[in-house]
Amino acid sequence: MKYKSTRGQVAGLSFSDALLMGLASDEGLLVPETIPDIRPDLDRWRDLTFVELAQALIPKFIDDIDPTTLHGLIADSYATFNHDDVVALQQLDGITVLELFHGPTLAFKDVALQLLGKLFEHVLGERGQRLNILGATSGDTGSAAIDGVRGQKNIDIFIMYPKGRVSPLQEMQMTTVDDDNVHCIELEGSFDDCQNIMKTVFADAQYKSTYQLGAVNSVNWARVLAQIVYYGYASLRSSAGAAFCVPTGNFGNVFAAYLAQRMGFPIAHLLVATNDNDILARFFATGTYARGEVHQTLSPAMDIQVASNFERFLYYHFEQDSDRLVAFMQEFAANGAASIGAPPDTQLMSSVAVNREQTLAAMHEVNTQFGYVLDPHTAVGYHAARNHLDHRETPTDIVVVATAHPAKFPEAVEEATGSEPTHPTLEALKGLTMHRQALPCDIDAVKTYLVEQLRSEPRA
């Protein structure tokens, strides 16, 4: 399997090269040159555990790591999860909740980032190289990425997050890690500002090469690859296929579901659930992708107006026409808006925005009816699924993707339910020293700080 860029100037990369490149050198996103057809495998995959399915599926995209070694890396990645089968399925009346928060940082991103950390460690060790990771987070990516690579001798990780726009517990999960290779940067501005700085730094080819920069955000293909597994896992446990509702900010999670469907897993529909930051909902309604003001909401990981993984979806929507994609992205960069000409076909994928009141109402309803607690991101998905997907019209199971443990958002949960959730992992953080560097929202400030903190001299 080889990898290419959505923007057409990079192709023929091995998986390991794609892993370390992160963002493509032509500023596009890396995708596989072909998408495997797994329909002949479905019957024998149906009863596999999560780890077994990962060990069967992931090698279809990775052929430059010894299969036995790769199987071991996958098994090791999920050994720290506190559920017997890594992820869990909870039935709430006519809706199934796919719990993805049983990893070490209690967020769905652990599923990908625990594996990403193991892959980085293996490939860098084999090549005798080091990597300096630069990432941006709206909440959960930062702590999950840090946990995946903390203490590794051949990696330094720099995570930018917007000041005052992640939850206090999310900030503690990042900043209380005291390993020497972990650096947290608190930036003035929004997550979109952090993400723009990250992409601009990566676009500086000389700087990226000199300081061996790599990515853990969902721009890194390996993140998306790992996430495909749980959509396959859940769809194969559905008697009639599945319609997934995915709370979405950066589009990486739902793009993994889109690829799972293209591979042949029994997925009938994907509902993209957004909060008041509704750029995706507006796109699917109008065909116009238009930047808006970033709103602070109860679901901060979704407080995003420029979804970085959306480029991958557009690439396939444009039938892999890189020239058309580049023209679209250039128009969006110049004007803050671009159009595909008409609303896209919503038979497979549609989108809806959910506001604060609807989010709180969903949390209250589920807690009252089922004694089950939703975090605010999952509540966005639950409300969207309950009100915009009807299993009576299509013979499919409705699955809501639960992205975080509710204890990560105690204020919102208490407002909705009257009770504050807790978790031992988070309680243990209270009182620990926080390590962070406050910086202005300035590209040069970030570049300078990164260079100052590196433990070894940069190599050209």
Task: Quick: pLDDT tens for 48-85.
Answer: 999 999 999 999 999 999 999 999 999 999 999 999 99
The CATH number given to whatever domain includes residue 311 is 3.40.50.1100
Annotated active-site residue 2? The verdict is no
Task: Quick: pLDDT tens for 157-188.
Answer: 999 999 998 888 889 999 999 999 999 999 99
Domain presence at residue 266: yes
Q: pLDDT-based confidence at 347, cuts 50/70/90?
A: confident
Angle between helices 140-149 and 168-175 in degrees, nearest 10: 20
**Number of folded domains in the chain?**
1
As a whole number, mean pLDDT of residues 311-332 equals: 97
Give the pLDDT of residue 395.
60
Q: What are phi and psi of 85, to 5 degrees?
A: -120, 30
Task: Quick: pLDDT tens for 7-55.
Answer: 999 999 999 999 999 989 999 999 999 999 999 999 999 999 999 999 9
450/127 Cα distance (integer angstroms): 23
Please say if the pLDDT value at position 357 is more than 50.
yes
Domain presence at residue 92: yes
Give the pLDDT of residue 457.
45
Residue type for 101, please? F
Cβ distance 246 to 401 under 8 Å?
A: yes
Q: What is the domain range of residue 405?
A: 88-106+223-422
Domain presence at residue 212: no
Residue 57 to residues 74, 79, 117, Cα–Cα distance (Å)? 11, 18, 19
Long-range contacts from 203-208, C-beta under 8 angstroms, 24+ separation: 203/23, 203/27, 205/25, 207/447
304/199 Cα distance (integer angstroms): 15
Instruction: Let me know if 58 is exposed, middle or buried by CB neighbors in 10 A (0-12, 13-18, 19+).
Output: buried
DSSP 326-340: HHHHHHHHHHSEEE-
Domain presence at residue 393: yes
Domain presence at residue 370: yes
Domain presence at residue 44: no
Nearest to 119 by CA among 27, 279, 226: 226
pTM of the shown model: 0.93
Please say if the pLDDT value at position 460 is more than 50.
no
Is the torsion defined by CA of 74, 76, 82, 84 positive or negative?
A: positive
Given 109, 118, 208, 408, which residue is catalytic?
109
Nearest to 401 by CA among 230, 240, 279, 232: 230
Give the pLDDT of residue 216.
85
Instruction: Considering only the C-alpha atoms of the chain, give the largest distance between any 2 of them, rounded to a whole number of Å.
Output: 62
How far does CA 108 lie from the centroid of its chain? Answer: 8
Domain presence at residue 41: no
Task: Quick: pLDDT tens for 123-136.
Answer: 999 999 999 999 99
Q: pLDDT-based confidence at 459, cuts 50/70/90?
A: very low
Domain presence at residue 346: yes
